[in-house]
Structures are given as C-alpha cells and as structure tokens.
Structure 1
Amino acid sequence: MKNETTLTEKDLCEEIKDLKVRNAELEKAARRFTAAKKLQNALFRIVDIANSTADLYEFYCELHNIVSELTSAKNFFIALYHQDVNGLSFPYYEDDEDNEQGKDEPLHNKEKIHSAEKYQASPTMQVITQGKLLHLNAQQIAQMGGKGRNAEDWIGVPLIQGDKVLGALVVQSYAPGFSYSKRDENLLTYVSQHIATGLSRKQSAEALKDAHKKLQQNNLELENRVQERTNELNQINLMLANEVKVRRTSEKIQKALFKITDLVSTATSLNDLFEGVHRTISELMYAENAFIAIVSKDKDALEFPYFADQHDARPGIIQLDSENDSEPSSLTVKVFQTGEPILFERSKDKKREVLGPEPISWLGVPLKDQAATFGVIVVQSYDKNHIHSNQNLSVLITIAKQVATAILRKKDADALKQAHENLERRVKERTSVLEKTIVKRRKIEKQLEHESLHDALTQLPNRKYLTEQLKIVLEGELTESSCDIALLFLDLDRFKIINDSLGHHIGDLFLVEVAKRLTSCMRDNDVVVRLGGDEFCILMSDVRSEKVAIRLAERVLNQLRSPVEVEQHSLITSASIGVRLAKVGKDNAVQVIGDADSAMYQAKHDGKNRYCLFDANIKKIVSKRLQLEQDLRNAIGTDQLSLYYQPILELFTNSIVGLEALIRWEHPTEGFISPVEFIPIAEETGLIQEVGEKVVEMACQSLHEFSQISATESLYVNVNISAIQILSRTSDESIRKLIAKYKIDPSKLNAEITESILVEDFKAAIQFVQELKTIGMKVFLDDFGTGYSSLSYLHQFPFDLIKLDQSFIQSTSENNSNITLIESIGFLATNLGMDIVVEGIETEAQMMLAQNLNCRFGQGYLFAKPMPKHQLIKFVQEYATSTSFIN
C-alpha cells in the first residue's frame, strides 16, 4: 500500500512538473506574443497618431511614449534634417541629465534650425549623412567629443522615407552599466521605418488632424482593451486562451487585408472585387447582408454598385442635399457626410432611419481617399442572434481602409486597362493609314524645323539660323585669306515712326517689302536674315576683300532710297548698316554678330542712311555711348539738365519779344555735354519723350518766375517738340497739365516743330497743332527750308510763325538766289498771316538784309548767345537801357 502511494505521489510530482514546464512555455509564448503585440500596437499607434494628434509636437510626445513602451527611452530626441538650407532642428528633445546646453541649443529651443556644419562631427549627424543605425557606448561617445554629460549607451536610427533621410531618432541611457541589446537595435530600426512614414504623412497632413480625432479616440480605446487583456494574460490561463483568440482574430484580419489587396489584381471587374470583399468580411463577422455606396461623379448622389441583402433589392440612388443643414434622413448619408463610422442597434435607437427594411443591427464605415470620403461600406443584420459589436466596428474600420485603397487601385487599374484596350483598338484602326500618317508627320517635322529657323512674317531665316550657320562656317579650317566672310547688320532708320503712326499691320507689310528688296540685292550664295523687329543681317560668303562687302552695303542703301508702296501709303525709309569682316578658324559667331551690331550703332550715330566698317575703336565708342545713354537716364529728373535761353528780337524796334529754350547737360564728371551729342541718343532710345517733358516743365517754371519780374513779364518762351513726342499722342495733355500746374498764360508758351514730322506723319502733326491751338498756344515751324518741299505745308497748317533756317541768311552773300527765295517765302507768309524769324544772324549786314527783306523777327549771336536763366534776366534788364545789338 505504501509503494502504491509512493508511486502515485511520484506520478503526481511528475505531472505537476510537466504542468509547470508547460505553464512556463505558455508564459514564454505569452511574453513573445505580448512583445509582438506591443510592436504591432506600436505600429498601429504610429499610424494613428499621424492622423489624430493635434500638432507635430504632440505627435513627437506620443512617439516618445510609444518608443518608451518598447525599450528604455527616457532620454529621447528627434532630429530633422533640412536639406534645402543644410540645417538641423530638434523639434522634440527630452534629456533629464544633459542640463549644460545653452539657451539656443535643442533642449531649450525646439523650433530653431541650426547649421548642419555645427553638428558635423556629432553621432546624430553621422546617422543622417550615412543613413544607417549607429550604436555607441560611453567610451565611443567620449572619443567623438560630445557636449554635456556623455551617455552610458546611445542608439541613433535614421528616419528614411523612400530614398530621402528625413532625420534621426535617438535614445540614450545614463544608467551605469546599461547597454541596449541587438533586439533593441532591430526594434528601433523596424519602428523607425514606420515613424518615418508617419512623420512624412503627419508633416503633409497636419491640417487634417480634426478629421482624424475620432479615429484616434477609437484606436486609443482599442489599445486600452488590448492592454487590459495583456495584463490578465500573466495571471490566468484563461486570459492566455483569450489572447490566443485575439491573436487569431488579428491574423484573420491580416489575411483579410492580404486577400483584399490580391483582389485588385485578380478581380476581373469592380463587381468581382466587391463580391470578394463581401466574402472576406464574412470570414471576420456576420455579414450576410452588405452593400457598398459610392458617390457619383457629379458629387450629388450616392450610387450602389454592390448590394447583397436577403430582404431588400438594390436601391436606386440617394440624392445628397448639400444646402440642407438638417439631420440626414439616412444613416448611410450621415456616415458619408460626417466621414465617421456608425454602429446602430434598433433596440437602443428607434428613431433612426436606415436604408430599406429595418435591420436589428447596422454597421457603416466611410471609405476615404486620404481625408475625402468617397463612399460607405455597410453590414446589417435582421437576426437578433447577430448583433454587431464595437469589436466588429473596429475590425470593419481596419478593413475599410484596405477596401478603400483596393477600390481606388482597381478603378485606376480598370481605367488603365481600358485605356490600353482603347489604344490597341485605335492602333488597329489606324494601321491601314499608318504610312500616310508617317508621311504627314515627316512633313510636319520638316515644317516645324523650318519654322524654328525662319521668321514667320518674312519667311527669311531667323537669328537661330544665323547663329548656327555662322558657327558652322567660322569653325572650319583656318585659311590664308585675310577675310572669308562678311556680316552686314541692318537697322531701319524710320521704322518706329511708321509702326507707331500707321499701326502694326502696315508695319508688318512694310517689313515684308523691305525683305524682298534686301533679297533682290544679294549674290547667289548670300543669306538675308531677319533678327526681329526692324533688324536684318546679311551673311556674305567668299569675301576676299572689304570692297565686296562695301559694294553690297551701298547697293542696299540705294535700293532703300526709293519709297516703299504699302496699301496706298508711300513710305520712305533708309538703313544704318554695320559691316564686320570675319576669318574662318579665328573668329566666333557671337563676337561677329556683336561687333556688326556695334558698327551699325555707330553708323546710326553718324547720321543714319550709311554704313560703317567695324574696327578696334568702334567697340570703345559704342561702349562710351551706351554709358552716356545710362548717364542720361540718371540725369533726367536731376539738376544736371537745365535750360539756356536765347533772345528773339523785333528787328524794327530792337526790342526783345521772346526766348528760345535750349536744353543743356552738365555731367557731374564729364562736364558740359553738347546737345548735338546726347539728343540723337535720346531720340534713338526713346528718352527724348522724358527729356522733352522735362524741357516743357522747366520752361513753364521759368515763365512763372518771369511773370513776377517787370522786365521779363511780357516775354514768350519757345520749346522744341520732337517728332517722337508728337507721335506719342500724349504730349498735348502733358503740356496742358503743366500749364495748369504753374498757372501760366498759355499764349506765352510756344511750340517749335520741325519740317520732318510733316513728312513722317501729316495727320499726327496737324492733330497735335490743333490740340495746342485749343489750349491757347502758338506753334512755330522750326528750321524751315532744310530739305523738304515745305511751301505746300504752309497752306495746310495753322502755323503762327516760320523760323527760317540759319543756312539761308548765312549764305546770302554767296548765293543771291537765296535772297529771292527769302523774298518769296516772306511774301507767302505775309499772305497767310504768318511772321518770320530769321535764325543765325551774326553780323550787322545780315540783320540789315533781314530788315530789307521785310522779316520782322530775328535771333542769333549778334544779339545774344544762349544763357542760363539768372544771366538772361540780368541781360534783359540791362538791354532795356542799351542801344547796342551786340552781345
């Protein structure tokens, strides 16, 4: 009996021992499962906090908590690398031991971006630059010369999104003898990948945090329940069984997610996809009755592409009333509009209305594309034995994310497939005409190539063609000739006036006719190019001497002298031509074009309607002129520009009746610059408009001052108005405003215009004269008789006075025919009610001749030279008591 008892106790001991071993194994398995569950929960939480945290700093705090649950991470910080500024910031920094940092260091300034060079030697920067995990002990940290108190053990893990390093995650411990394990390294490496993804999403989707607040709350509740089960697991075997069940559920969910992913590629249609999703959900919960609602393309209604219900047929559509703020009539509509899931139980809420027959239990979850809801997935039960729970809600929320992704991918895949099918169909349909299409395409390509190298208006080669052709020619082998090619750079002298006065249409037709004339001047191998606007180039090959290029330049100038007839307009033009000779193998294209341009600029400055050969001095001269242009721009509006005044006398009474205002420029470093030098520059660049306005304003200001002085109060002032000012159509209004501003008598301000504007734009000139007349001003015809047949204009223009060019009076001693001409002009002017001012009187004899020819007024050096305002006032005051005409 004793032996039997002993054997029984031994057996019991063995059984107890086996039970303990089994229990230990179960506990070990539970711990592994707990660790795996913690990691899984951590990854879920990283995803959740990326969507639910209020701001980035809260996100970082939550990351700290998550990492702390996985490993020792009391001392934890995140460093972000800003590649655009090569900077480093520490948006989250928790370190209880490192208290030696300054106020600008990471511990105290979480928003500052520091220069990455400052941390170049730090372990953190090495993790970022190398993109690899770095694990250091206290000795290794000390060798790197770190600041503050060195940790006992340190791990840094890069945060990598795609191929970009966002920053680094660092944990460290100051506990003596503490060391992170290989498991910690693997754990942090694994977690860092998800943190990087979450960080990237959080940075781009922080504005959506309110929409995800509810989801964060639900996930937090789920996490708490999982944590409660984990705590109970260590106490009783029953909890182990429950956790195993949870684990199996999680595995089912994971398998379900994989299945839904696979359906994207295996399903033949969206309906097959929906059926597969329905089957997959049925493996996780009761889902005999399910449907999917998708918003229509116009966003006005919900459609039901999939509907499986034992008591109801597929409905039509549900209209969405976006203007109605009342409670949605349907739970499906509410889920769609709020973007929030709903778990409904009829016994708890009998007022709610659902789609179709009344179910006992109803569960709906939104389908989202990022933050935008595009549909709803619903499962419902009519059986009281199948009531959906919060656990079913959590599962469906998780599944819904994958379902939404699958639907979107399937739609994209179907669209791509349809596009491929359509493409194949179109290819087949067009196979029969492929050869014709290729021929047409080749023609188009040739046309495009032609258009890229030719000017659309004139069909001449363009600047690109010239540059490429010139480059090819000049890069050839060096020859023995002194020059091989010549480039003529042409700029039309009067095109701007034609274009501004007659319009762009006439201007374009004019350019076409000019192009034809240039082409007619060429040799067989020469090329005419239009650079743009009114600029052309002629590329000459096989040029043995400069005479060849000069002959062509003279031929072009001669060809352009005759008027160009365009739509009943007879247009006169000329050209300024720069000639640059070039040698193959020595010069380059850009330099040659630039030099030819400089020579053209010099030709224009020398008087237009001529050519100029480029030489070493041209560039210096043009450069100086360009500098003068810039200085003139700066001078406008300053006291560098001033007016000098030359008196105009009544020849029979010897009294001063008026003044001509002449502009002068006193350069701060170059001194006095003659108008002969800077006025042409102003006209070429368009600055003459501003200079002219400046002259009128200074004249008005002087007239206001003259009106306060008895000796000058009766004098008038003449100002010269350029052709460009007249063509601008705005000068008359500007003059009107200045007269009002300085409160002067408009009859004391006279405008002098030259004969050239009468030829350039007759209509603009007469309109300008009439406008000035309405203001109350007088208009003088300046430089009369300098090259145009002007007598006919005197009948058509309401001039008040003619200013006879000084060449007439100064050449009378040599040419008696001029005396007869002056008499004729005087007779005609008298009949038209006009007076004459004789310019350039320098001798007593010339003055007496003017009086004998019945010319009433005169001006010239005999009486006075142009003088500044203060001298002029003094001169007029003294002249009143003087009997001499000599200045």
Structure 2
Amino acid sequence: MNNDFDKKLTELTNEIKLLRAQNTRLVAQAKQYAETKKLQDALYKIVDITNSSEDLDTYFHQLHLIVRDLTEAKNFFIALTNQPTQTLTFPYFVDEDDPTGSVTPQKIYSFEDYRGSPTMAVINSGKIQHIHQQQFAQFAFHGKLPEDWIGVPLIQKKEVIGALVVQSYEKDFKYSSRDENLLIYVSQHIATSLRRKQDSAALKQAHRQLKVINQELEARVSERTEELKQINRQLAKEVQERRNSEKVQKALYEITDLVSTSSNLNSLFEGVHQVISELMYAKNAIIAILSDDRKQLDFPYFVDEFDTAPESYKLDPEQFHEYPFLTMKVLATGNPILINNKAELARKTVGTKAISWLGVPLKDKDKTFGVFVIQSYDINHIHYERDLSILKTIASQISTAILRKEDADALKQAHEYLEHRVKERTSVLEKTIIKRRKIEKQLEHESLHDSLTKLPNRKFLAEQLKLVLNGSKSNRGCDIALLFLDLDRFKIINDSLGHHIGDLFLIEVSKRLLSCMRNEDIVVRLGGDEFCILMFQVDNESIAVRLAERVLFQLRKPVLVEQHSLITSASIGVRLAKVGVDDAVQVIGDADSAMYQAKNNGKNRFCLFDANIKKIVSQRLQLEQDLRAAIGTNQITLYYQPIFDIHANQVVGTEALLRWRHPQKGYISPAEFIPIAEETGLIQDIGESVVDMACTTLKVFSAYPELTDLYININVSAMQILSRSLDEYIRKQIIKYDVNPNRLNAEITESILIEDFKAATHFVQELKAIGMKIILDDFGTGYSSLSYLHQFPFDLIKLDKSFIQSTSDNSSNVTLIESIVFMATNLGIDVVVEGIETEQQKQLAKALNCKFGQGYLFAEPLPKENLITLMLNHM
C-alpha cells in the first residue's frame, strides 16, 4: 500500500511539476501575447492617428503618447533631415527636465550645427544609438545631459529621413534591449506613417493653396472677362468706325472716278448724289453754286420730293450775312449747319418745310463757292452729327470734283478749239518743224559754247580732248598742249565795278586770247574767269611757251570797258600731252594744278606741269583745308609788335600780326597762308577773327590803368575792303566788347587805292565815322603817290622798312624820308618808321623829326601776355 501510495504521490508530484511548468509557460506566453497585443495596438494607433489627426502637431503629440505607452519616453523628440540642403528640423520636441528646450521647433539647423551630436551619429550611421552616461563625453550634447539616451533612425526606402529619440534623466535608470527592439520596430512604422502624414499634410496644404489660387484665378478670369468685354465693345466700335471709314473712303474714290467718267456736270451731280445715298438718307439733295462775281446763286442740281428747282437768286455780295436763309448762312460763314428743329426750319428755309436739314460748304481753298444740302421730310429719317461729319469729309472731294470737272470741260473745249486750229495750220506746222530743227541745231551749238563770250565751253573741250587723245600713238615727244588760264584780278574788278562791267571785261579778254592763237588752236571758256587754250601739232614745249608769253603780254595791256581802264594779268598752267597715252580728264587736272603753281609763284606768269607740281598743289590744297579747320581755334592767334615814341622811348601802341601754329607743321608764315586766304575768300573769316581778338586784347588793356591809352592797329587787305561788310562787322564788335574806337586803328595799303578808289573811300569814311584812325601801311612800296595823302584822311603813314634800312648805302633816301616827313607833318599826319633794327637807324629817324618807330631794335612781335609785361616796364 505504501508503495502504491508513494508511487501515486510521486506521479502526482511529477504531474504538479508539469502543471507548474506548463503554467509558467502559459504565463510567459500570456505576457508575450499581452506585449505583442500592446505593440500591435500601438501600430494600429499609429495608422489611426496617421489617418485621423488633422495636422502634424497633433500627429506628433499622439505619436509621443503611443511611444510612451511602450517604453519610458517622457522626454521625446523627432529630428527630420533635408539631405540636399544638409539641414535639420525638430518638428516635435518634449523635454520635462529641459522645458526651455535646446532647440526651437520648426527652426532649420545645418548639419554643421549638430556635428558630433548623438542625433547626427544616428542619422549618419543609419543605426540605433544607445548611449549611457559614461559614454556622453564622446558626443556633443545640446542642453541638459540625460542619464540614458536612445536614438533610432527613421528610414524610408533605405534613406535616412531623420531620428526618433527618447532620453531619461532618472538616476540608475537604463533602457533595456526590449526598449531598443520596440523602438526599432515602431520607428519603421513611424517612418512610413510620417511620410504618409507629411504627404497628406502637403496634399491638404496644396488643396488649400489650390483653392486660394482657384479663387484668385476666378477673380482674375472674371476681371479679364470684363476687360475682354470692354475690349470687344471697343473693338466692335472701332470695326464699325473702320467700316464707316472704308465706306467714306470708297465714296471718295468713287467721286474722284466720276470726274473722268461723267460726260457733263449734271451726270457728275447725279453720281455724287447716288454715292452719298449709300452712306446716309439723302432722298432730297440740292447743289447751289455761286457765280464767279458772287452776284448770283444757281441751282444746277435739285432733287426734292415736293419742290422744283427755284430760279437763280440775284445777290448782293456785301449783304450775304443779312440773308436769313440757311443756304446763304453757309455761304456767308463757310461753316456747315445741321438743324432738326421743325419750327426753326420753317423760319429759315424756302418751300416745303423739312424736319431735318443738313448743309455743308463747297470750297476752293478758303473761298466758299457753293453749298451741298440734303434734307428730310420723314420723322423716321433724321440726320445726326455722324451724317454731318461724313458729309464734311466728303465735301472737299465734292468741291474738288466740281472744280476738276469744270476745268476738264473747259480743257476739252480748249482741245477741240486747238484741234480745229491745228487742222487749219498744218502747212504752218511743216514750216515750224523746219524752224525747230534749226533751233535744235542752235541749242546743240549753245550746249557746247559759252553764252557770254561765244567761245567753246568745258563740255566742248572735254569732248575734243577725248577725241584727240584716243587717236593712234605717235613717235613724237608730245602732240598737243593745254594752257589753263585764270585771271589774277578779275574778282576785284567784278566785286568793285559790278557783274555788267565784269562780263564786258571777259568778252574783251576772250578777244585778246583769240588774237594770240594760231588758226588751228581753240580758245575755251571754262566758266568765271577761267579759260583754256587747246593747241594742236605741238612738237616741243617751246611752241606752247611762246604762246603763253604772247598771252601774258597781251593781258598786261589795260582793257578799256565803258570808260574804265582795267588792268589784269593771268596765271597760266601748261600741260603737254601725248596722243594714245594721256587721259583727257587727267590732262585738264594737271594743267589746272600747274596754273595754281603759277599763281602761287607770284601770278602774272606761266608754269609748265611736271611731276613735282601735283605734289606741291596737293600740299597747298591740304594747307587750305588745314587753314579752314584752324579758323576760329587757338591755332590762329595774334602777336603784337609795339610802336614806340622814339623821343620819349615809350610804347604808344601795337600792330596786331597774324600767327598760325599748325599742330603738326609748327608756325606757318603769314606770307604762305595769307595769299591762300585771299584767293579762297577765307580772308573774310580771318579778318573777323582778328577784329574779335584785338577787341578782346583792348578789353584786357582796360584792366591796367597804365595801358588804357594804348591802341592796336589791325591790317585790312584789299579783299576785305571789297567785301563791303568788314566795316559793319567792326562797328558791331566795338559795341559788343565796349571798347573805345579811338584805340582800334586800321592799316590799309596803297594797292586798294589803285584797285578800287571808290570802295576804299567808302571804307575809310565808315571807319572814321565810327571814331577809328586810318593808317597808310608800307608807304613807298607801291605807286607811292603823295596825292593820296591829300585825298584820304589818313591819321598816320608807315614808312616802309626799305627806306630806313637803305640809308647807309643811299644818301638820297635820307632826303626822300625828310621830304615825306615834312609833307606829312604839314598835313597833320604822323609818321611811323618801320624796320628800325639798329641804334644808328633810330637816331637818324629822330634827327629827321620822325615821331614814331617800330622794329626789332625795340621789340619783336610778342604774345599778349609778354606784350603786357613789356609795356608795363616802359610806362
């Protein structure tokens, strides 16, 4: 029994052990199931909050509660990364022991800001980081140090998008491996749900933005629709206006065509009426026309439902404004009238009373010659401002059409008359044709000849030269010669005596040239005072030279023209040419260049063309161009040479001398550029510049009390006097610069007295009237006529330097100087001796009772500044 009992007890004990072991397993399983269920519930909640939370803040808060149910997570935050920008944000951060927070939610931090932190260790490694207190020294913590720290990466599609972190500040607390596994597992679902939540939030935000955009778009569409409606209304208006304009334009063209297509005025009026009827209601139309003397009003066109055309009205042109009728009012004022007042129309119209009346004037330029009227008796057809505007536009075309038609009819009648006359004069026409052929022949001759001298002209010369030079080449050294002549003094003659005398003088010169020619040679007038002589059969240059000498000899003789004995000379350029070699244009140009060289060499001579002349002439032309550019610039200046009272050894005045400082060539002598200026007419501009500069210097003198009495002499050439304008320019500049005219003197030479005594007299009188002094320059170098001292009111004469400088070699010059000084002194004229260069010459001038002297002994020409210094030292 005992054995059975023990056996049974043993079995029972074993069974109890099995049951206990089974119970333990069941408890463990139950606990594991509870944990699994808790985890599963947490995952469901994560899914639920992902779908149910309204915003990310709510989502993160509920997510925190879920994680807190699973593990110790009072302190919890989520960090999210933006890998392209290398930045961090902390959308959720809760820390009980660090309530101020070491981060600001939603603020963006760079990776660099969290370098070495455990959070960046999780993000960079993509693995869980469990850090205990003894490991904190390895990391850079932000805020208060925890006791234990777990960070789990949030991974989406193998990409780390952030980290989930829990931390504890409780001492002796450690997160378990269970916590790690839970957090790892949960983080995978959180990462997925976070992306969904972020996408959902972004989608909601996009929806909200889309809604705003849609609202804005609807508002803009509405606004744009209204704008388009306005544009469409405006466009419709413009289209209608364009159509109206096209209709009016078409009407204008049709009215223009009527001028040529209408057989008479009545058909023209009918056509105009029809054209206007297409634009407006015009059942009743009237055209009233004034007679040329404006004493009668006719109605050449009258279409009316009720009335017939009235008789012509007799009018008084002086009483147009007194007639009460509308047609007369349009005629009188020249203005259109539109009236839709039946009562007013009853008072101001004749015949059946219309209810709408529109009349526009028909004008020839500013003169009203008629009226075009349309009127309506129908209340349904009233005329408005648009009709008035259209009719005003068309009225000018109607006027033109009427006038052209009248002219065309008149012209047609004239043509008919002319045709009748042509038939009558057929025989006369045949004679006219013969006469015309003679005229054409004469015109052909005139086209090749100068109308004044009857000599062949430039065209004839060019054709002859081309014809001759295109011949067969010969073995001779030369075949022909061309002499190019320019009269040296013709401009003076023409300007001083007038074009009539100038023309007669050219005729006499042409006769003299013809008298020098061989029978086969040709004299040509190129124009102005230029002539050419074409010589044939020229074997050597001596033949051409002899002719040039004969011409110069003949032209030196005085030419008598209407009691004027005129003296001239010529500058001649000679160009030898060879047939079959030389070009006609080149030959004329070379002869012209040689002529310029002869003129440059002193005039009254000839010059044979050679290779150097073209270069010389080219340089001279370049100098002329440079001179044109220099005028008015600081290249052209005045130097001043003092004039001394040789007894008091004191400066009393100065002579202004032109200086040209070329930017490349340096100083150019006046002897080189003044002749160019006189030939080209530039002397006029230069002369005016001299006046300006002299007046400016006098203005400077006035600032020094010691210099206020000093005068300045300016040189005036014959060309400037003959221009007859310099005296007036001087008068204006004296006023402009407010200078004393007694301090500005003019020096003239004897040549102008010979060339044009009358012009010189006028010039001197004008300057004397201003208050200026006149000085005779270079006395003794020209004709040296003492009679001029009696005839002209000279204040001073300047004895040419040749007198004083030759006294040592010629004692008779001393007597001559003494005589001139004696005569001038008796006439009240002072004498300036020019060219004093030695003390001996100065003492001689003093001994001869000469008062003033000028020369290098005293001073050379100086710039204005140096002159002032010199004069102040001699005061």
Q: How is 1:102-141 mapped onto 2 (pairs within 5 angstroms)? A: none
> Do 1:264 and 1:409's aligned partners in 2 also have CA atoms closer than 8 Å?
no
Out of 839, 845, 848, which is 1:850 matched to? 845
Alignment of 1:837-876 (within 5 A): 837-876=832-871
Instruction: Give 2:550's aligned residue.
Output: 555
Report how far residue 325 of structure 1 moved: 10
Q: Does 1:809 align with 2:804?
A: yes
Match of 1:570 in 2: 565
Per-residue deviation, 1:783: 0.9
Q: Please name the residue that 1:775 is paired with.
A: 770
Which amino acid in 2 is paired with 1:630?
Q
Q: How does 1:547-696 map to 2 (within 5 A)?
A: 547-696=542-691
Aligned partner of 1:479: which letter?
A: S
The answer to whether the Cα contact below 8 Å between 1:332 and 1:376 also exists between their aligned partners in 2 is no
Query: 2:476: which partner in 1?
Result: 481
Q: Does 1:542 align with 2:534?
A: no
- Between the aligned partners of 1:200 and 1:840, the Cα distance in structure 2 is 92
Mapping of 1:240-259 within 5 angstroms?
none
508, 512, 517: which one aligns with 1:513: 508
Q: Which residues of 2 match residues 763-802 of structure 1 at below 5 A?
A: 763-802=758-797
Q: Describe the shift of the 1:450–1:309 C-alpha distance in structure 2 as closer, same or farther (beyond 3 A).
A: same
1:640 deviates by 1.6
Deviation at 1:759, TM superposition (A): 0.5
Q: Relative to 1, partners in 2 of residues 1:205 and 1:633: Cα closer, same or farther, differing over 3 Å?
A: farther
1:668 is displaced (CA, Å) by 2.0
Match of 1:722 among 717, 725, 735: 717
1:790–1:413 distance in 2 versus 1, CA, 3 Å? closer
Q: 1:591 to 1:374 in 2, by over 3 A?
A: farther
1:579 CA drift (Å): 2.2
1:497 alignment partner, one of 464, 469, 492: 492
Whole-angstrom distance in 2 between the partners of 1:776 and 1:333: 67
Rounded to whole Å, the distance in 2 between the matches of 1:743 and 1:277 is 72
User: In structure 2, the residue corresponding to 1:867 is in which secondary structure?
Assistant: coil
* Contact 2:286-2:303 at 8 Å conserved across structures: no
* Contact 2:641-2:656 within 8 A present in 1 as well: yes
Moved more, 870-879 or 610-619: 870-879
- 8 A contact 1:332–1:364 mirrored in 2: no
SS at match of 1:560: helix
- Structure-1 separation of matches of 2:345 and 2:715: 95
Counterparts of 1:817 and 1:732, CA distance in 2: 39
Instruction: Verify the 8 A CA contact 1:736 1:775 in the aligned structure 2.
Output: yes
Counterpart of 1:701? 696
Match of 1:455 among 434, 450, 459: 450
CA shift in 2, pair 1:299/1:584, >3 Å: farther
Match for 1:515: what amino acid? S
- Quickly say closer, same or farther: Cα 1:785–1:327, change in 2 above 3 A: same
* 1:424 aligned partner: 419
CA contact (8 A) 2:321 2:328 kept: no
Once the two structures are TM-superposed, the CA of residue 871 in structure 1 deviates from its matched residue by 2.4
Residues 421 and 765 (structure 1), Cα distance of their counterparts in 2 relative to 1, 3 Å cut: closer
Q: Give the Cα separation in 2 of the matches to 1:811 and 1:601.
A: 35
Return closer, same or farther for 1:298/1:871 CA change in 2, 3 Å cut-off: same
- Structure 1 residue 659: Cα displacement: 2.3
2:775 is the counterpart of 1:748: no
- Answer yes or no: is the 8 Å Cα contact 2:289–2:300 preserved in 1: no
What RMSD, in angstroms, separates the aligned Cα atoms of the two structures? 5.5
The alpha carbon displacement at 1:742 in A equals: 4.2
Return the letter of the residue paired with 2:851: R
Deviation of 1:409 after TM superposition, in Å, equals: 11
Deviation track 1:584-610 (CA, whole Å, cap 9, x = no partner) reads: 333333333333222222222222222
Residue by residue over 1:624-650, the C-alpha shift from the partner in whole angstroms, topping out at 9 and shown as x without a partner, is: 222222322232222222222223333
Q: Is the 8 A contact 1:750 1:777 kept in 2?
A: yes
Letter in 2 for 1:702: T
Aligned-partner Cα distance in 1 for 2:303–2:651: 110
Aligned to 1:39: none
Alpha-carbon contact 1:484-1:584 (below 8 Å) kept: yes
Separation in 2, partners of 1:474, 1:837: 60
1:831 corresponds in structure 2 to 826
Show structure 1 runs of 5+ residues with no match.
1-106, 111-194, 216-259, 279-288, 382-386, 391-396, 881-887
Q: Which amino acid aligns with 1:496?
A: K
Q: Distance in 2 between matches of 1:712 and 1:549?
A: 61
Question: Residue 659 of structure 2 aligns to a residue in which SS?
Answer: strand
Q: Which residue of 1 aligns with 2:435?
A: 440
Query: Per the alignment, in what secondary structure is the counterpart of residue 827 of structure 1?
Result: helix
Query: How many residue pairs are counted as aligned between the two chains?
Result: 618
Give TM-score scaled by structure 2 length.
0.59
1:733 and 1:407 map into 2 onto residues whose CA distance is: 57
CA distance in 2, matches of 1:834, 1:731: 25
C-alpha contact 2:335 2:361 (8 A) present in aligned 1: no
The CA distance in 2 between the partners of 1:200 and 1:558, in whole Å, is 85
Q: What amino acid does structure 2 have at the position aligned with 1:495?
A: F
CA contact (8 A) 2:330 2:337 kept: no
How do 1:78-93 and structure 2 match up within 5 A? none
Change (3 A) 1:343 1:535: same
Q: 2:481 is paired with a residue of what secondary structure? A: strand
Letter in 2 for 1:770: Q
| CA spacing shift, 1:540–1:319, aligned 2, 3 Å | farther
Distance 1:407 1:343, change over 3 A: farther
Pairs within 5 Å for 1:377-396: none
State, as a whole percentage, how many aligned pairs show the same letter: 64
Task: Judge conservation of contact 1:580–1:613 (CA < 8 Å) in 2.
Answer: yes
**Would the aligned equivalents of 1:339 and 1:373 in 2 still touch at CA under 8 Å?**
no
* Alpha-carbon distance in structure 1 between the residues aligned to 2:490 and 2:613: 24
Which residue of 735, 758, 765 maps to 2:730?
Answer: 735
* Contact 1:293/1:302 (<8 A) preserved: no
